[in-house]
Amino acid sequence: SEGCLGVVTSAVVRVRPLPEVVEYQSVVFPDWQTGAAWMREVARLPAAARPTSCRLMDSQQLALSRAIREGSGGHGPIKTALQALALRLKGVSMDTASAATLLFEGSRDEVAFQQKLLAQLVARAGGMWGGATSGEAGYALTFAIAYLRDFGLDYRILSESLETMAPWSSVAKVWPAVVAAVRAEHRALRLPGQPFMSCRMTQLYDEGAVLYMYLAVSTAGLATERCLEAFERLEHAARGAVLAAGGCLSHHHGIGKLRAPLLQESQSPELTAVLQGLKATVDPSNILAARNGAWSPAALAAPRTAAEEQEAPSSATSGGKLGH
């Protein structure tokens, strides 16, 4: 309920023994499509046969991970260049490659069994093992990205992540749709440079997969208020593309206030009314007044008509000024 219906006052914690074996590994694929198809096959395995974690990074994140590792002294530029040459000789270009990072945890027998099954899928997909060091470095990137976002602020670069869960029938459509929508909006806003966009597949389910997408743009030359307006429009365009391609509004980040206006496109008015009634019953005095999600005023606002959308100011009709 995102703080609108109650607060957690106690919790039960399940304690498990530490795993006997913890091993990292990585697999390199020639492109995102091949890697995504391989991830689909991993998702078809029984839950006990899958690794503890299995994530797919696109070429942008792969390059970023390698750059961070190189800058921290993990790999020198000569070794990195030799690795890229070795991959190119095998028909893989770092400009288009994707890589899966794997984490195995469990008993020695469990890990050996999982690795044997995955090795068969890797061979069938034409992937190449990338080693444990690359696998661990890929997970380290997850922690570094938040710091990179803060670092970018000093250079007037705004960045954020957005996530969705999409059914397997739609997974392949979501990311291309987001890229196209953001680039179009970026051009309409006449922002400097080009947007940086990257994607990784982070969680696998029987029904679908989670896509974690990153967006970064330069706002050089814009006033602070216009920077925020521009970035909000880019995010709105990205999330609208996610919904149109078959993804959901959020997997685990929640709805909050920023995504609330999009609830009307993903949630029926009847469900919103039911949730409003629940709120009125359990919290009639509105003590928990966070106003997130279905309880945000934006979620209850009447959607704009087509005529109102056309009348809304835009960068194309207002001399480059941002519309709302």
> Which residues, in sequence order, are bridge partners of residue 129?
27
155 is catalytic: no
Per the residue annotation, which of 139, 147, 205, 212 is the catalytic one?
212
Q: How far apart are CA 174 and CA 160, in angstroms?
A: 18
| CB burial of residue 287 (10 Å; 0-12, 13-18, 19+) | exposed
Q: How far apart are CA 269 and CA 311, in angstroms?
A: 25
Counting other chains too, the contacts that 174-179 makes at CB distance below 8 Å and 24 or more residues apart are 174/211, 174/241, 174/242, 174/245, 174/246, 174/247, 175/32, 175/199, 175/211, 175/213, 177/241, 177/242, 177/244, 177/245, 178/213, 178/238, 178/241, 178/242, 178/245
| Plot region of 320 (φ>0 → left; ψ -120 to 50 → alpha; else → beta) | left
- From the list 145, 168, 173, 39, the residue with the least C-alpha distance to 100 is 39
Contact between 217 and 223 (Cβ < 8 Å): no
Task: Report the amino acid identity of residue 195.
Answer: P
Place of tokens 């074996």: 21
- From the list 34, 14, 159, 4, the residue with the least C-alpha distance to 100 is 34
Q: How far apart are CA 157 and CA 192, in angstroms?
A: 11
Q: How far apart are CA 53 and CA 168, in angstroms?
A: 18
Q: Tell me the catalytic residues.
A: 212
